[in-house]
Structure 1
Amino acid sequence: MRLEPITWERLADTLADRLLGLKTADGGSWPRVAVDGAPADGAGGTGELAHRVADALRLRGRSALVVGTEGFLRPASLRFEYGHEDVEAYYSGWFDTGALWREVFGPLDPGGSGRVLPDLWDPVADRATRSPYLELPPGGVLLLHGPLLLGHWFPFDLTLHVRLSPGALARRTPEGERWKLPAFERYESEVDPAATADVVVRADDPRHPAWRG
């Protein structure tokens, strides 16, 4: 896979320009973008990149809404049903994909209301956030960021994967989170996000990202 050096700032500008002309696959009014990648220290996190792109879109006169999957975790009783470090549960059961379909993607279907719930569950307090709905005007762009996004058949119009080599991911994952590494190995094997995504950003050295898109 041939990658070209780029800065995070130029990447955000390039993606924003591309999104201005993006047509939705279903003919709807709201382009939906995945910013996928493992959470890791100093690796150009997916949330930071999603916000950079959103800011670049707003400078171009286009509305954008950033939503993180960490706001759609399932309750602790379900996440930790088989222990606090169960890889299978993390891979397939931590995130409330049904709520994401209902509260984020459904309102952006053709003829939808555009009223998106930005988050549903506070994992620290382990209770509903009760956040108000936010209305994304027609033409506004949804940027959904988080890990393991590309294996759920979500109706994205553009997918971006922030890639770390196994060594870089292991180095940048906090010690208490390293039990999750086998889930990302499985993701690489089953989903192959670097081959699946429309845009790939390598962030082994977060000071010198490179991309293919």
Structure 2
Amino acid sequence: MVVGMGGLRVVLIGGTSNVGKSTVAQVVAERLRFAYRSTDRLARHPGRPWRTPERDVPPHVAEHYATLPLDELITSVLDHYARLWPRIEDLITAHATGAEAGAGLVLEGSALWPTRVAGLTVPHTAAVWLTAGPAVVRGRIHGAGRYAEATAAERHLMDKFLARTGRYQSLMLSEVHRLGLDHLDSGDGRSPEELADAVLATAAAQHAVGRSSADGHPR
């Protein structure tokens, strides 16, 4: 249970890819003077399949998206998150109970599956899921991957990633609604700083991990 902002030790920010989790989480961590971590750093799984100035797409990542159908892409990533959960739970518990000395923790990532987070019984922990409409997510992925300049093969990989991202969000939101968990629209034009304010306000209002109201819509 969250005991006011003064008692808060862990803030969890979930959501699908490209909804702004890392940016907002880093602002929240700075505001609270907490450590920031991403679940993506805890274990490897095929990541974003487009080139950046710093890196090419690894062959195994390209093969993953090029060859697997959407259902298998979803199964693969959900299985990865299930395997990763014990490590995530240990990390949350260590910070929430004070076993981990030092600052609190802001942890973000798609691996924060709603059903598992809602089952946490640790103290001083809040959770919020970020969402964004399909057009917003598509625009961000296309911009990051320079879709307009990409080859047909590169576009195919991005299309598969986008399809997986959309399916993941649909499944995630279904669980968020079913469990009455708090979620915020990160694609409504608010700045990262404004979204961080909303995350903190929601966290302060929660009476249990991820819940500030009966219907899962922050007041």
How far is 1:97 from its partner? 3.6
How far is 1:112 from its partner? 7.3
Aligned to 1:53: 28
- Say whether the 8 Å CA contact 1:47–1:145 is kept in structure 2: yes
Q: Distance in 1 between matches of 2:181 and 2:91?
A: 24
Residue number among 74, 77, 86 corresponding to 1:91 in the alignment: 74
How far is 1:164 from its partner? 0.8
Tell me, yes or no, if structure 1 residue 143 matches structure 2 residue 106. yes
Aligned to 1:25: none
**Amino acid in the other structure paired with 1:144:** L
Provide the secondary structure at the position in 2 that maps to 1:35: strand
Q: Distance in 2 between matches of 1:107 and 1:183?
A: 24
1:77-117: CA deviation from partner (whole Å, max 9, x where unpaired):
89x77965543444343234434423x42255379784xxx
How has the CA–CA distance of structure 1 residues 202 and 51 changed in structure 2, closer, same or farther, with 3 Å as cutoff?
closer
| Structure with the higher helix share, 1 or 2 | 2
- Say whether the 8 Å CA contact 1:91–1:148 is kept in structure 2: no
Aligned to 1:13: none
1:166-210: CA deviation from partner (whole Å, max 9, x where unpaired):
33223323351323222322332x313697433524323254866
Tell me, yes or no, if structure 1 residue 170 matches structure 2 residue 138. yes
**Amino acid in the other structure paired with 2:137:** L
Tell me, yes or no, if structure 1 residue 158 matches structure 2 residue 143. no
Show structure 2 runs of 5+ residues with no match: 47-59, 148-157, 199-217
Tell me, yes or no, if structure 1 residue 20 matches structure 2 residue 3. no
Alignment coverage as a number of residue pairs: 157
Percent identity of paired positions between Structure 1 and Structure 2: 14
Aligned to 1:37: 15
Show structure 1 runs of 5+ residues with no match: 1-17, 23-30, 59-63, 115-135
Q: Distance in 2 between matches of 1:195 and 1:112?
A: 24
TM-score (ref. length: structure 1): 0.54
Q: Distance in 1 between matches of 2:162 and 2:38?
A: 21
Aligned to 1:65: 35
- Counterparts of 1:85-124 in structure 2, within 5 Å, are 85-94=68-77, 95-102=80-87, 104-106=88-90, 108-109=92-93, 114=99
How far is 1:161 from its partner? 1.7
**Amino acid in the other structure paired with 2:70:** V
How has the CA–CA distance of structure 1 residues 99 and 159 changed in structure 2, closer, same or farther, with 3 Å as cutoff?
same
Q: Distance in 1 between matches of 2:126 and 2:180?
A: 11
Residue number among 145, 154, 172 corresponding to 1:187 in the alignment: 172
**Amino acid in the other structure paired with 2:168:** A
